[in-house]
A = this chain, B = another copy of it.
Amino acid sequence: MCRWLAYSGTPVLLDTILYKPAHSLIDQSLHARMGVETTNGDGFGIGWYTQTSGIDTPAVMRDVGPAWNNRNLREIAQHVTSPLFFAHIRASTGTAVQQTNCHPFRHGRWLWMHNGSIAGFHEMRRELCVAVEPSLFPGMEGTTDSEVMFYLALTLGLEEDPPGAVARMVGLVERTGRAHGVENPMQMTVAVTDGESLWAFRYASGGGARSLYYSTRVDSLRALHPDVSFLQELSDETRLVVSEPLGDLPGAWNEVPEHSYGVVRPGDDHLRPFVPAA
């Protein structure tokens, strides 16, 4: 299992979100509270979009040691500003600790990260890999279920219809799992973005999905906490989606209901039910 964080809104120094808050994601790499594991020290990754117009794809930095003692991560966080970024800390459930197994995964302008697992993945891996579109297959560089889920979603139309493609991917995994005798194979919170919109999913085949929270709209928070100066600097639409809450601001966090997904984008955000495709 893992922990992750997705930010969209007013451009901020990554440090502001990754290190500064009480119980920050970096702190969670040593001391997670809501995860299955308390330690997420098997690698990490960040992906960020720049505002410079000429650059097409997000930057991705991943490394295999723990996030909490990584000096390069701290340097990047203290010197890079971004309006949209992902961060992920990993607790391996057995697969190799290597950069290509660290999240976020990237395909063109898209980033993907995942917390959870596919029960019985070891046995299903070949079958799921074979279901990936042949032209996409060579892009898979690691051995995680998370990466295969991304490539299956790409295969099933992620770039045109993210919620539909994720629903089809989950449906495929569930059918494959059941064929292998695994009744409830999917356990996931997933974040995916094309650099403009951000989709976050919370789902588990048999219920009991991993924790997921989204932040209250900044204008509402500002009304609640008129004295918190940090909130003055953020646009109304700034939004965080996280595995577990950061900081200690009352009213700041809302649970994403199980079997639902949210869309964060310019204009109104939405929260909708998530149903795997048959």
A interface residues, Cβ below 8 angstroms from B: 13, 30, 38-39, 41-42, 48, 50, 52, 55, 58-66, 68-69, 71-72, 75-76, 78-81, 92, 95-100, 122-123, 125-126, 129-130, 134, 137-138, 140-141, 143
Q: Which of B13, B64, B123 contacts A65 (CB 8 A)?
A: B64
Q: Are A42 and B63 CB-contacts (below 8 A) given A76-B76, A98-B96, A99-B96?
A: no
- Whose C-beta in chain B lies nearest to the C-beta of A59? B79
Chain B residues, CB < 8 A from A141: 95-96, 143
Q: Which residue of B has the minimal Cβ distance to A137?
A: B126
**Residues of B with C-beta under 8 A to A138:** 122-123, 125-126
- List 5 A-B residue pairs with CB atoms under 8 Å apart, sorted by A's residue number: A30-B41, A41-B41, A59-B76, A126-B134, A129-B129
In the bound complex, how far is the Cα of B64 from the Cα of A265, in angstroms? 40
- The closest CB in chain B to the CB of A80 belongs to B80
**B81 contacts A59, CB within 8 Å?**
no
Find A98's partner among B38, B41, B80, B99 (CB 8 Å cutoff). Answer: B99
Q: Cβ of A80: which chain B residues have Cβ within 8 Å of it?
A: 80
Give complex CA distance A79, B99 in Å: 19
Given the interface contacts A66-B66, A134-B126, does A59 sit within 8 Å of B78 by beta carbon?
A: yes
Question: Hey, which chain B residues are within 8 Å of A62, CB to CB?
Answer: 71-72
Chain B: which residue is nearest A140 at the CB level?
B143
B69 touches A92 (CB 8 A): yes
Q: A99-B96, A134-B126, A141-B143 are in contact. Are A52 and B81 (CB under 8 A)?
A: yes
CB distance from A102 to the nearest CB of B (A): 11
Per CB-CB distance, the 5 closest pairs between chain A and chain B, nearest first, are: A59-B79, A98-B98, A126-B137, A41-B41, A69-B97
Which residues from chain B contact A61 at a C-beta distance below 8 Å? Answer: 72, 75-76
A45 to B: closest C-beta gap in Å: 10
How far, in Å, is A119 (CB) from chain B's closest CB? 15
Do residues B137 and A125 form an inter-chain contact, with CB atoms below 8 A? yes
Q: How far is the CA of A130 from the CA of B65 in the complex (A)?
A: 32
- Give, as a whole number of angstroms, the nearest-CB distance from A122 to chain B: 5
Interchain CA distance A138-B71 in the complex, whole Å: 18
The verdict on A78 contacting B55 (CB below 8 Å), with A137-B125, A138-B123 known, is: yes
Set of chain B residues within 8 Å of A78, measured between Cβ atoms: 55, 59
Across the interface, A96 reaches (CB within 8 A) one of B48, B95, B100, B137, namely B100
Q: Please name all residues of chain B whose beta carbon is closer than 8 Å to the beta carbon of A39 when the two chains form the complex.
A: 30, 39, 41
